[in-house]
Every structure is written in structure tokens, then in C-alpha cells.
């Protein structure tokens, strides 16, 4: 039986909630892959390899859906804004894929980069403190 995107998102949410110490690191890894997929898609579009660009952009959309599904906006200030930002990012990824537009991919990268950096910094701070990875109240 094949897993649906919702099954994967639910499994991620459950795992993140149960494994507080690895939850933030999982988010960093998701952002690592998201940034990688979007950069690869940009390169594929520039070389005219639209099939691989499509695959990367669809995978990037799935990652953002997982991040959005795992989000607990009531758990932190700005949670609703982050949910809206994830919705915007999904819309831009779809647009980039439909039109194979590197400019739109650049807009996606402009959203992803600071979020990725913020999560890496937060995890580094928690590891430096010697804590177990920090709370995941807001998760993604």
C-alpha cells in the first residue's frame, strides 16, 4: 500500500512530537533538502532539463507541505505568519514549475534561505547550551 503525502506528513508530526531531541534537527534536514531541490531545479531549467526540474520542484512542494503540516502555529508568536509563508512558498513552487521560471525560483530561494539559516542557528545554539535540542512547541 502506497503512502500518501498526508500519511508522510502525519508520520513526521508524530515523530517530531515524540522525539523532542531530534525534532529540530529533522527540520534542518528538511530545509537542507528543500534548498537543494530548489537549486537543482534552477540549474535544470537553465540547461533545459524540464523533466528533472519538475521532479525537484514537486519534491520541494512535498517538503513544504510536510513542514506546514507539522507546524503548530499556536505554539509560538508568528506561527500564523509562518503558515501563510509556507502557503506562499507552495504557490511559488507551483508557478515556477508551470512556467519553468528561474526568477520565481529565485523568489522561492529568497524565502527558504533565511528560514533555513534561522533553524540552523537555533539548533546550533541549543546544542551549544548542551540541551537536548530544545522544545518543539512550534515545530516547523
Question: What pLDDT is stored for residue 131 in this prediction?
Answer: 53
Verdict on whether the full-model pTM lies above 0.85: no
Digit-by-digit pLDDT tens for the chain (140 residues) are 566 767 666 665 565 554 444 678 899 999 999 999 999 999 999 999 999 999 999 999 999 999 999 999 998 899 999 999 999 999 999 999 999 999 999 999 999 999 999 999 988 988 888 755 445 445 55
Contact by Cβ (8 Å): 68, 83: yes
For the chain, what is the radius of gyration of the CA atoms? 15
The CATH superfamily label for domain 22-128 reads Flagellar protein FliS (1.20.120.340)
Distances (CA, A) of 45 to 42, 56, 62, 97, 109: 5, 11, 19, 9, 15
Q: What is the pLDDT of residue 13?
A: 59
Supply the pLDDT for residue 3.
66
pLDDT of residue 27: 93
What is the model's pLDDT at position 19? 44
Q: How far is CA 14 from the centre of its chain?
A: 17
What is the reported pLDDT for 106? Answer: 98
Distance separating alpha carbons of residues 77 and 82, to the nearest angstrom: 10
The structural domains of the chain, with segments of one domain joined by +, span 22-128
Amino acid at each position: 500500500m502506497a503512502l500518501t503525502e498526508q500519511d508522510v506528513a502525519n508520520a513526521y508530526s508524530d515523530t517530531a512530537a515524540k522525539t523532542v531531541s531530534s525534532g529540530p534537527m529533522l527540520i534542518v534536514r528538511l530545509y537542507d533538502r528543500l534548498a537543494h531541490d530548489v537549486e537543482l531545479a534552477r540549474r535544470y531549467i537553465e540547461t533545459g532539463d524540464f523533466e528533472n526540474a519538475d521532479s525537484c520542484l514537486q519534491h520541494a512542494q512535498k517538503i513544504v507541505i510536510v513542514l506546514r503540516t507539522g507546524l503548530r502555529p499556536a505554539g509560538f508568536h508568528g506561527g500564523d505568519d509562518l503558515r501563510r509563508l509556507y502557503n506562499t512558498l507552495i504557490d511559488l513552487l507551483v508557478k515556477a514549475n508551470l512556467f519553468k521560471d528561474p526568477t520565481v525560483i529565485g523568489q522561492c530561494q529568497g524565502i527558504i534561505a533565511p528560514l533555513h539559516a534561522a533553524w540552523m542557528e537555533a539548533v546550533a545554539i541549543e546544542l551549544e547550551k548542551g540541551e537536548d535540542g530544545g522544545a518543539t512547541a512550534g515545530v516547523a
